């Protein structure tokens, strides 16, 4: 089918779904509850065949992952009866675990693949209207992570791996006219360093056909081009001689790459020349991939900090943020591709799940448990509102009910309602709710931390240096407790500048609880610990070793003792540290 025509059909369907968002939500809930009425979990709540939202919200409680864990474990252990879903779950998703430190199990089924494709098709249709793709290829930094079988014989892997392995994924990519330029052996290779090298090599071989450069998260795209800076000469030499570098040792990758790599000295010279002509790799993507229409990946939330570097590499190529979802399921599509990435909103698709929203004002943000949101601290039990009842300008935590056995599940993400697309809300991602720096009465979220780092990073920018990555930790080993910020910096900064950065970080946390606690010394001076180069690479390697997929990686922004291995990597790699003198 002509792709323009197909896109218009997808848009038409989306418009109809969103115009009737309220009705579609009621029907979706009904469908989910009917399909899964026989499951042990739903039976427990005595719905007795009543599938309306009122009965649902009065009978079934709002839960966190911890509450569902015993049920998910039963499934993973091979329970023979329906536990969370009517139809047996055969695959388990391993969430990346980079936000909370430990991977979680989440049920996965074909419906989630289908909703993933619906999200992909929807945002593509809107993107394609503005920036049409014409029979090209994509340089996609995507990786299948390790899969294993659970005790009960279920296949377990990351959400993206489950998707990439599905037949629908390839079909959808072909329909979008941007199949991945790398062979499957590269995507599913067992060593991500080797896969990344080969993705870059394929990108160069097909450089004129590349119309899209993408990954799930922006971090992975930046990481890939940082690697390019280190290996470009080796890549050129491989192309010149038609011989793959000896460091690629996986036989299946070598065989697959042998089919695309032939000696091409002209191409090697051309790329070599282009690279040499760049100043500090500025505009690398535009220069090397002249037909690239856009760079695509999630760019909001914790990914915003990589945008500066990505723009630097991109040159004239535009950046478009990908959609909003999680291992637990998708939420919304970016249907306004003209927006700059920082201002991207996500329109919720009302037929991919049943969505509720916990008003944030009513949630006690002082919950101390960093791992799980906790209702017991709430003065008033917050009442979630339905998808079409949210208010513009308000912030909420997302609660999802999906087709794979999650019922009224708190996702832990904070979103802000920016407007409506027909009757469905357009959400802006704010932050992870449970990532919080708190010692006393202070409450600083992931967003507060990001703003503080951005303010201090400006002092480094004046020295032509940048923060490669960052994380934080609450140190309560000594009295009073204090915040520790870990930074990896792109080069050597002077002590004077780093001291100023440390002071700036401390004073940029403007939360009244923090400021007053600092003034009365109930919280000690903030500490900036500067890490050796490559520390965040070690953290990434650690997560990939645990089974996380590189393209789903998100640097943990707050490291708690639960995550002792990461804390140890950080502490073992401190090159210098500074103590704030703000507040005397």
434, 552, 573, 580: residue in contact with ligand AMP (rule CB under 6 A):
552
Type and span of the H or E element at 428: strand 424-432
DSSP conformation class of 414: E
| CB closer to ligand AMP out of 120 and 197 | 120
84, 387, 411, 523: residue in contact with ligand AMP (rule CB under 6 A):
411
Please tell me the count of residues contacting ligand AMP according to CB under 6 A: 15
Q: Rule CB under 6 A: is residue 95 a binding residue for ligand AMP?
A: yes
Q: Rule CB under 6 A: is residue 96 a binding residue for ligand AMP?
A: yes
Q: Rule CB under 6 A: is residue 563 a binding residue for ligand AMP?
A: no
| CB closer to ligand AMP out of 10 and 331 | 331
- Crossing angle of helices 535-545 and 564-572, rounded to 10°: 160
| C-beta of residue 541 within 8 angstroms of C-beta of residue 455 | no
| C-beta of residue 528 within 8 angstroms of C-beta of residue 502 | yes
| CB closer to ligand AMP out of 416 and 432 | 432
Smallest distance, ligand AMP to C-beta of residue 479, A: 33
What does the alpha-carbon distance between residue 332 and residue 542 come to, in Å, rounded to a whole number? 30
Smallest distance, ligand AMP to C-beta of residue 429, A: 4
Angle at CA of residue 557, ends 551 and 561, nearest 5°:
110
Parallel, antiparallel or unpaired: strands 346-348 and 424-432:
antiparallel
Which residue(s) pair with 213 in the sheet?
A: 139, 295
| CB closer to ligand AMP out of 518 and 557 | 557
Smallest distance, ligand AMP to C-beta of residue 123, A: 11
| C-beta of residue 526 within 8 angstroms of C-beta of residue 506 | yes
| CB closer to ligand AMP out of 268 and 295 | 295
Smallest distance, ligand AMP to C-beta of residue 161, A: 11
Of 317, 334, 286, the residue nearest 128 (C-alpha)? 334
Angle at CA of residue 547, ends 368 and 120, nearest 5°:
90
Of 159, 155, 160, the residue nearest 214 (C-alpha)? 160
Q: Rule CB under 6 A: is residue 373 a binding residue for ligand AMP?
A: no
Q: Contact letters (x/-) for ligand AMP, 296-335, by CB under 6 A?
A: --x-xx----------------------xxxx--------
| Cα-based distances in Å from 451 to 394, 454, 458, 464 | 20, 5, 11, 20
Q: Which 452-511 residues touch ligand AMP, going by CB under 6 A?
A: none
| CB closer to ligand AMP out of 196 and 411 | 411
Q: Which 346-365 residues touch ligand AMP, going by CB under 6 A?
A: none
Q: Which 420-449 residues touch ligand AMP, going by CB under 6 A?
A: 429, 432
* Residue ranges in contact with ligand AMP by CB under 6 A: 95-96, 159, 298, 300-301, 324-327, 411, 413, 429, 432, 552
């Amino acid at each position: 089918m002509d792709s323009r025509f197909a896109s218009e059909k997808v848009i038409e369907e989306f418009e109809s779904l969103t115009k009737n968002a309220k009705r579609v939500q009621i029907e979706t809930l009904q469908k989910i509850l009917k399909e899964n009425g026989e499951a042990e979990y739903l039976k427990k709540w005595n719905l007795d065949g009543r599938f309306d939202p009122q009965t649902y919200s009065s009978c079934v409680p709002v839960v966190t992952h911890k509450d569902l864990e015993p049920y998910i474990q039963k499934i993973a252990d091979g329970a023979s009866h329906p536990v969370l879903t009517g139809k047996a779950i055969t695959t388990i998703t391993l969430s990346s675990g980079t936000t909370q430190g430990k991977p979680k199990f989440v049920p996965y089924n074909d419906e989630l693949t289908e909703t993933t494709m619906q999200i992909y098709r929807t945002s593509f249709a809107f993107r394609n209207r503005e920036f049409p793709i014409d029979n090209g290829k994509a340089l996609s930094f995507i990786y299948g992570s390790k899969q294993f079988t659970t005790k009960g014989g279920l296949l377990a892997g990351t959400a993206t791996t489950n998707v990439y392995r599905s037949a629908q994924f390839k079909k959808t990519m072909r329909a979008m006219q941007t199949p991945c330029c790398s062979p499957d052996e590269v995507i599913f290779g067992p060593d991500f360093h080797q896969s990344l090298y080969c993705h870059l090599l394929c990108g160069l071989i097909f450089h004129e056909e590349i119309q899209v450069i993408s990954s799930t998260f922006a971090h992975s795209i930046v990481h890939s081009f940082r690697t390019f800076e280190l290996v470009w000469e080796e890549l050129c030499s491989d192309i010149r001689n038609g011989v793959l570098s000896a460091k690629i040792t996986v036989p299946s990758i070598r065989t697959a790459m042998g089919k695309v790599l032939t000696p091409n000295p002209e191409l090697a010279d051309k790329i070599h020349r282009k690279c040499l002509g760049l100043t500090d790799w500025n505009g690398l993507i535009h220069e090397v991939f002249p037909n690239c229409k856009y760079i695509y990946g999630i760019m909001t939330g914790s990914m915003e900090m990589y945008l500066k570097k990505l723009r630097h590499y991109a040159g004239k190529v535009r950046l478009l943020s990908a959609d909003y979802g999680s291992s637990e399921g998708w939420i919304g599509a970016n249907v306004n591709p003209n927006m700059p990435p920082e201002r991207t909103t996500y329109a919720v698709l009302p037929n991919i799940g049943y969505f509720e929203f916990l008003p944030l004002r009513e949630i006690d943000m002082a919950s101390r448990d960093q791992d799980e949101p906790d209702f017991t601290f709430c003065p008033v039990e917050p009442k979630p509102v339905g998808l079409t009842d949210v208010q513009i300008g308000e912030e909420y935590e997302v609660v999802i009910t999906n087709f794979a056995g999650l019922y009224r599940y708190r996702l832990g993400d904070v979103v802000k309602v920016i407007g409506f697309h027909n009757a469905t809300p357009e959400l802006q991602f704010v932050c992870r709710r449970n990532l919080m720096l708190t010692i006393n009465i202070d409450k600083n979220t992931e967003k507060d931390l990001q703003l503080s780092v951005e303010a201090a990073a400006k002092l480094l920018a004046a020295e032509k240096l940048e923060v490669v990555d960052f994380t934080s930790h609450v140190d309560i080993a000594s009295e009073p407790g204090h915040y520790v910020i870990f930074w990896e910096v792109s080069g050597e900064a002077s002590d004077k500048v780093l001291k100023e950065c440390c002071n700036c970080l401390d004073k940029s946390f403007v939360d009244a609880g923090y400021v007053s606690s600092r003034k009365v010394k109930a919280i000690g001076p903030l500490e900036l610990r500067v890490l050796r180069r490559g520390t965040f690479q070690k953290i990434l390697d650690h997560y990939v070793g645990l089974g996380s997929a590189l393209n789903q990686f998100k640097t943990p922004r707050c490291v708690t003792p639960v995550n002792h291995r990461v804390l140890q990597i950080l502490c073992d790699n401190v090159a210098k540290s500074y103590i704030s003198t703000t507040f005397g």
